[in-house]
Structure 1
């Protein structure tokens, strides 16, 4: 069992693919997280990254998943089958990629991120892909620590413009 799963009292949670009509729910969680991060002086996503039309497009395509507990939205995550922007060298079909993982502030510190990562790992295995991969801004030490405690290994650090991004991977036993 990964260390992270032993450290948190993880709440019971249902994680399901967001339906097209739930794009506003996804957008609300992402915008709340973006505002909180920006308020901490650490802006992360651009307005284009979380624009309603982009979220709607990704939700319509089946990319977003919503975590709920007792009907309350706790968090969201987007899972992609490829990521040529951050992982162009990876062979198609070898990985699932985590993007836009966000937790509702009401659920902060309650293990929702761990639940979403567990879900992503299970989905990766179910798809028969050997790796779960993600990237984050390299100077986000608490976020990087979360990923490392979960079991991700640092693959590399890449630069895009003036920002450095840490790329992480987790080997997943295929089902």
Structure 2
């Protein structure tokens, strides 16, 4: 798909659309044998998406006015982020979470386009870098982030999430 992704900052009225995207992704993940983000189906929102929308941290992309995916960019660390990256009270970094693609658009390079839009936005806000964590054994996602220019900054092991012990890779994209 060669069309340009247009980035939108989600508004309160977009909450249902954003939640529907997340639920669709969780159901797809489950169909692939993954329990990642499964708490969403039980009403657990560890990222407090509604409040993140109110703070202007949730973004979605469209192509020709059709929604294709979303992500969250925090300019402060959550407890999760500080446990991985160490405490950093600055606002020098964005922390990327919940990169999600509507299944009908998977395999079309939308994830890379959304990541590029996140980079452009972060640079416009004067950030030093974008940071994220990724389940270490998810080869597809690790390759996606590496191909998008994110550099592996380490590995955190034996973290309990979604009722399973998992390892996470830490990635950072330095803005030039």
Q: TM-score, normalised by structure 1?
A: 0.86
* Root mean square deviation, CA, Å: 1.9
Q: How does 1:73-152 map to 2 (within 5 A)?
A: 73-84=67-78, 85-86=80-81, 87-152=85-150
Shift of 1:60: 2.2
Q: Deviations over 1:97-133 (max 9, x none)?
A: 1100000011111111111111111122112111111
Other-structure match for 1:167: 170
Q: TM-score, normalised by structure 2?
A: 0.86
Change beyond 3 A, Cα 1:89–1:57: closer
Write the distance in 2 (CA, Å) between the matches of 1:75 and 1:35: 15
- Partner SS, residue 39 of structure 2: coil
- Pairs aligned (count): 165
Structure 2: gaps of 5 or more residues: none
Pairing partner for 1:69 from 56, 60, 63: 63
Q: How does 1:49-68 map to 2 (within 5 A)?
A: 51=43, 54-68=48-62
Structure 1: gaps of 5 or more residues: 1-8
State whether residues 132 and 171 of structure 2, in contact with CA within 8 Å, keep that contact through their aligned partners in structure 1.
yes
Q: How does 1:29-68 map to 2 (within 5 A)?
A: 29-48=21-40, 51=43, 54-68=48-62
Shift of 1:48: 4.6
Shift of 1:88: 2.9
